[in-house]
Structure 1
Amino acid sequence: MKIGFDNQKYLELQSSHIRERINQFDNKLYLEFGGKLFDDYHASRVLPGFQPDSKLKLLKELSEEIEIIITINAKDIEKNKVRGDLGITYDTDVLRLIEAFKNNGLYVSSVVITQYTGQQSADLFKNHLINLGIKVYTHYLIEGYPQNIPYIVSEDGFGKNAYIETTKPLVVLTAPGPGSGKMATCLSQLYHENKRGIRAGYAKFETFPIWNIPLKHPINLAYESATADLNDITMIDPFHLEAYGETAVSYNRDVEIFPVLSAMFEMIYGESMYKSPTDMGVNMAGNCISDDKVCQEASKQEIIRRYYNALNELARGNCLESVVYKIELLMKPLNINVNDRPVVPAALKRAKETGKAAAALELPDGSIITGKTSDLLGPSAALILNALKELAGIDDDIHLISPEAIEPIQKLKTKYLGGKNPRLHIDETLIALSISAASNPVAQLALDQIPKLKGCQAHISVMLAEVDIKLFKKLSIEATSEAVFENKPIYY
């Protein structure tokens, strides 16, 4: 896998730049963290060499100066809003984040429940956190936010919010997902800090879009494809261009909210600390791209994967057609299509040859392995076994798992557990392989190849079952599938 990003340089530059920003204010900076703090796989895909835990490493380097506040919207608690990538509710994810930070030696000082209007579910969650020994603050829904600035920046607006006690110079605001109130919490704190005679600062840390590369660079277009459901659009920062005569890339939501933020800063401090949305950012990722060609190609592939994901979500009824159309429009200027993903034509060709669902996987050396549906295995499971055989140099005719060992598993699935599909999924196949490895050295050899699957690309000719989606993720295989139901079910 080719590398296009210098991760060590990134960590050094980023930590140094954040420290510089802290020193611009009264040794107190509220830093709004956008995107994922843990497992930022989008960044690692479009910036090959970027480590998914880079942001976490960065925070650990600053651990002596940092405390973390997690915000969650009371409305999201009430709606049981779920993180699509993890399949857990936002309130559960708050607990996960607290535990993860704690295990990495980082201090979570409190949780803020935002847009609170007396929701019972929010009260229950607050009590649960308090019982766990976690400080909890409530911030209220402010009428007219964010346009009614004189009211917002007053005792009846931010003044009603609880002041969050902090002790460190760097206060990081993070959340389970968008719309959790990170920015509003930062602004509320600036208001309260100023009342106490402290000129605290505010900054944003978002990896994408990258401000100092071209607007239509594939990396920035890949960001648009990732946020197509939010209708985020990358654009030239007009405020930065006017103030400095320099071109910088921002996105529509930051540009739209900047005049409001600037006016709030003026009401709090008497002047705005920033002249543009770009000024607010502290991201240094664009300075650490070591091979632009590699990153461009990786970003194009990410857009194709996002396109397939949108098609699948549309088929499941989870997104609008406009999301698919938007990503199609992003593909046109880059002159790419689904056939630029090599595993796509390979999987479709195999499916046409067999008349059944099939799959293809690209190995690190560029060779492509396929798998087909059989009476014993689904196409994804067959694909993984065939790939492990190839990596281990095992002849294709050799059975790693005997059919006699698979039949009892199928009987368990259908007769005793009430399943309708007797064929084994990836997880069931790997468990069977591990059992076989106890007495079969060849099976053990195949099992030992699993780490080599990390980063491989796969495509399946029909929509994946949820269990196989999860297993591909656990194996760190980037899998896509056609938006075609294998049996055209109403309930999927």
Structure 2
Amino acid sequence: MRKQGFDPQKYIEEQSKFILERVNDYDKLYLEFGGKLIGDKHAKRVLPGFDEDAKIKLLQKLKDSAEIIIAVYAGDIERNKIRGDYGITYDMDVFRQIDELRGYGLTVNSVVITRYNDQPSTKVFIAKLERRNIKVYTHRAIPGYPSDVDMIVSEEGYGKNPYIPTTKPIVVVTAPGPNSGKLATCLNQLYHEYKLGNHAGYSKFETFPVWNVPLKHPLNIAYEAATVDLKDVNMMDYFHFERYQQVSVNYNRDLEMFPVVKRSIEKITGKESVYQSPTDMGVNRVGFGIIDDEVIKEASRQEIIRRNFITECDYKKGLVDEEILNRMKLIMEELALKKEDRVPVRPAREYSEKLKSRCENKEVPAVMAFELHDGTVITGRSSNLMDSCSAAILNAIKYLGHIGDEIYLLSPVIIETIRSLKKDKLHSKITTLNANEVLIALTIGAVTNPTAQLAVEKLGELEGVQAHSTVMLNKDDEQILKKLGIDVTCEPVYPSENLYYV
């Protein structure tokens, strides 16, 4: 079982206490949430023991005092930006977030579209929200943002964007991902609150980088790896050191923006800001939840390797440029990490090479390797019947259920029916079963087969398993692995020469 390095309860207690201290200073506090509000899988991976829904559970405790605004950048809607950990577009993630927030009993005030410029896809998105009775506000880009404070904090700047009426003392501003306009939304609200004569404040709920962990700690470097496409770089907070003679860590965008944010707040409020540094603005108690630093370091190293594989695959797909790829390589070199330091990589590669030496065809069977919680590595290969992802899943649950290799879990009748449906009725050129189809076949068989039922019950034990594939996976298999809680990496290799049928 994976060792814990983080105490989630201590973290929630510390974070709650500091948020309430900030709230007590104002009639209303606008709280910008950095990172993912729900399902923070990066934090869960690098902080073993962290509850991926810790933030939302914390807010649930404050639900009588809090309401939520979701900000999303119109450009991200227009280009169908994908949230990597769920594999869904940002517009779909907004729908998902609203459903989950409501499920926790939290009030969703509205959705604000930032830097809106009448983009066609965004108009459709707005219509979908409004026809489901979700309030939507649009904020236009402000000329001179973010440097021209006099323009921004004026009737021609924030004054032109609408005020979002709120009723509770804590207003959380969250988003599907970074650069969504959360800060601008908070300051826009602050501007209008003071125009209305209300005493409001701004603060930032931070997770990464961790200010009281060393700059070059793998935990903070893993944050750089996670945001490599944004070119974030961790730095010492020189504002904080100058004011307090205390070393703390922040990142380049917050440091660059701090003088502007500070001047904007002072211009809005008409008095000196209480914040003397970016660290001051944040509420970040992650460092106080660490109980085993070595466990955190190793988990962070593994996350960096994982991110490296993702970046290589994104480069292969044309999603990132060579500069991002090279930046990721430098991060790997900084900690002297090798791809083979990820346990399932070597077994997957070795099995693939073994098959290659026997294979007469041009296309070598794909291989997937699972590192189970007890350290055992299970492999699966693609065949005419099923793909490597399906084979690895079946082999793993057989191992976990102590089911012999010679025992068939899938009914031949069910398999042939699915293959016939794909080929003859759906006219698919690919009749190999993917993971979703194999699991459906397994579940149907479990109705009459106790061994198959035992295998189904073992699927839950795959959560947290580490996996590696010798080829890039199709979206269906990626989604199944994510739903099972399996962290998978892939070699930047296409599974075939086909451009469409993969």
TM-score by length of 2: 0.93
Q: Which runs of 5+ in 2 are unaligned?
A: 357-364
The equivalent of 2:46 in structure 1 is 46
After superposition, give the CA deviation of every residue in 1:253-311 in whole Å (9 maximum; x if it has no partner). 00111111111122123212211111110011111011111111111111111111111
SS in 2 for 1:49: coil
Separation of aligned partners in 1, 2:447 and 2:117: 58
Match of 1:430 in 2: 439
State the Cα deviation string for residues 322-377 of structure 1 (Å, max 9, x = none): 22222221122322211111111101111122223212111111111111222322
**Deviating more after overlay: 307-316 vs 153-162:** 153-162
Quote the offset at 1:87 in angstroms.
4.5
Residue in structure 1 matched with residue 320 of structure 2 by the alignment: 319
Displacement of 1:88 in angstroms is 4.1
CA distance in 1, matches of 2:402, 2:122: 56
Please say if residues 112 and 137 of structure 2, whose CA atoms lie closer than 8 Å, have aligned partners that are also in contact: yes
User: Which region of structure 1 is more displaced relative to structure 2, 179-188 or 279-288?
Assistant: 179-188
Tell me the secondary structure at the aligned position of residue 473 of structure 2.
coil
User: Helix, strand or coil for the counterpart of 1:449?
Assistant: helix
**Shift of residue 250 of structure 1?**
0.4
Structure 2 match to 1:388: 397
Residue matched to 2:457: 448
Alignment of 1:267-416 (within 5 A): 267-269=267-269, 270-355=271-356, 356-403=365-412, 405-416=414-425
AA partner of residue 34 (structure 1): G
The residue matched to 1:369 in structure 2 has which SS? strand
Q: Which amino acid aligns with 1:65?
A: S
In the other structure, the counterpart of 2:359 is: none
Report the Cα distance in structure 1 between the residues aligned to 2:127 and 2:473, rounded to whole angstroms.
40
Larger displacement relative to structure 2 (92-101 or 323-332): 92-101
SS at the partner of 1:63? coil
Residues 140 and 409 of structure 1, relative CA distance in 2, 3 Å threshold? closer
Tell me which residue corresponds to 1:488: 497
The 5 Å alignment of 1:210-221 reads 210-221=210-221
Is the CA contact 2:389–2:435 (under 8 Å) kept in the aligned structure 1? Answer: yes
CA offset digits 1:71-99 (Å, max 9, x no partner) = 23344445454444445443443333222
8 Å contact from structure 1 (residues 376, 403) kept in 2: no
* Residue 195 of structure 1, CA deviation: 2.4
The answer on whether the counterparts of 2:236 and 2:248 sit within 8 Å (CA) in structure 1 is: yes
Separation of aligned partners in 2, 1:453 and 1:241: 45
2:114 alignment counterpart: 114
**2:216 is aligned with 1:222:** no
Distance in 2 between residues matched to 1:422 and 1:212, nearest whole Å: 54
- Three-state SS of the structure 1 residue aligned to 2:325 is helix
CA distance in 2, matches of 1:425, 1:471: 10
Matches of 1:357 and 1:141, distance apart in 2: 47
Per mean C-alpha deviation after superposition, the further-off stretch among 254-263 and 196-205 is 196-205
- Which amino acid letter does the alignment assign opposite residue 494 of structure 2? F
Query: 2:139 aligns to what SS in structure 1?
Result: strand
In structure 2, how many angstroms separate the alpha carbons of the residues matched to 1:454 and 1:443? 19
TM-score w.r.t. length of structure 1 = 0.95
Sort the Cα spacing of 1:138 and 1:314 in 2 relative to 1 into closer, same or farther, 3 A: closer
> 1:55 — aligned with what?
55
Q: 2:345 is matched by which residue type in structure 1?
A: V
Match of 1:473 in 2: 482
Distance 1:291 1:257, change over 3 A: same
Q: Which amino acid aligns with 1:456?
A: V
**What is the CA distance between 1:130 and its match in structure 2?**
4.0
Deviates further, 45-54 or 96-105: 96-105
Cα pair 2:110 2:136 within 8 Å, conserved: yes
The residue matched to 2:191 in structure 1 has which SS?
Answer: helix
Closer, same or farther: CA 421–79 of 1 in aligned 2, 3 Å: closer
Q: How many residues align?
A: 491
Q: Is 1:163 aligned to residue 163 of structure 2? A: yes
Question: Which residue pairs with 1:231 in the alignment?
Answer: 231
Q: Are the counterparts in 2 of residues 313 and 319 from structure 1 also a CA contact under 8 Å?
A: yes
Relative to structure 2, which stretch is displaced further, 430-439 or 292-301? 430-439
Match of 2:95 in 1: 95
- Pairwise CA distance, 1:209: 0.7
| Alignment partner, residue 7 of structure 1 | 8
Distance 2:452 2:131 in 1: 49
**Partners of 1:3 and 1:49 within 8 A in 2:** yes
Residues 177-235 of structure 1: CA deviation (Å, up to 9, x unaligned) = 33322111111122222223333111111211111101111111111111111111111
Structure 1's 451 and 130: CA in aligned 2 closer, same or farther, altered over 3 A?
Answer: closer
Mapped pair 1:265 → 2:265? yes
**SS at 1:111 equivalent:** strand
1:156 positional shift: 1.8
Task: Determine the C-alpha separation between the residues in 2 that align with 1:246 and 1:182.
Answer: 28
1:476 is paired with a residue whose SS is: coil
Q: Is the 8 A contact 1:457 1:479 kept in 2?
A: yes
- Relative distance call for 1:423 and 1:10 in structure 2 (3 A) is same
CA distance in 1, matches of 2:78, 2:387: 39
- 1:391 aligned partner, one-letter code: L
Return closer, same or farther for 1:479/1:117 CA change in 2, 3 Å cut-off: closer
- State the alpha-carbon separation in 1 of the partners of residues 429 and 194 from structure 2: 64
Identity, % of aligned positions: 52
Over residues 383-416 of structure 1, what are the superposed CA-to-partner deviations in whole Å (9 max), with x where a residue is unaligned?
Answer: 1111111101111122222445423322322333
2:361 corresponds to which residue? none
Structure 1 spans left out of the alignment, 5+ residues: none
Distance change in 2, residues 1:485/1:94 (3 Å) = closer
Q: Which residue identity does 1:466 align to in structure 2?
A: K
